[in-house]
Amino acid sequence: MLLTTFLAGSIKSGKIKVSQNNAEALEITAINKKIDVNAKNTEFIKDVISSVRKDAKPQKGVIGTIKRGVNGLQTVRSVQPMVKEIAEDLQREGMTVTLSFKGNTVVTVGSEADSNFARLLLGTKGVEVNSIRKLVEMGL
């Protein structure tokens, strides 16, 4: 069992709200082996993502969009083994983690996920992209 799964499994139920600059950014809800991370503020998500990306400068226009896409694919390749391991560990433990945006499920990871597309990209069916449109809207 991975540390992330152990920590997720040790949370039985509850709700946590995270704020940034006096604005609600995340709401994390846990109930019976299910954890939902509901993003309320796209700026918070973009700040978190830009802090871990090598190329954190905002890019505009068609060329910027293409560069962002290429950088995104490189990021997927670099984190793929970790994401796969976490997803499969969550599946073994019967746990599910969802990422939502304003109440709409965007990504499901763990036992309730099942995606042929993610299986091709990540090598596991334990990750499901529920809404590509919301994923793009979040800036992921």
pLDDT score recorded for residue 108:
93
**Cβ(105)–Cβ(115) below 8 Å:** no
pLDDT score recorded for residue 21:
85
Closest by Cα among 77, 138, 82 to 105: 138
The per-residue b/e assignment along 27-41, b for 16 or more CB within 10 angstroms, e otherwise, is: bebbeebbbbbbbbb
Residues with pLDDT less than 70, the chain: 1-9, 49-79, 139-140
CA distance 133 to 54: 24
pLDDT score recorded for residue 34:
92
Residue 124 per-residue DSSP state: -
**Cβ(107)–Cβ(69) below 8 Å:** no
pLDDT score recorded for residue 85:
87
| pTM beyond cutoff 0.85 | no
Q: Give residue limits of the domains in the chain.
A: 3-138
pLDDT score recorded for residue 109:
92
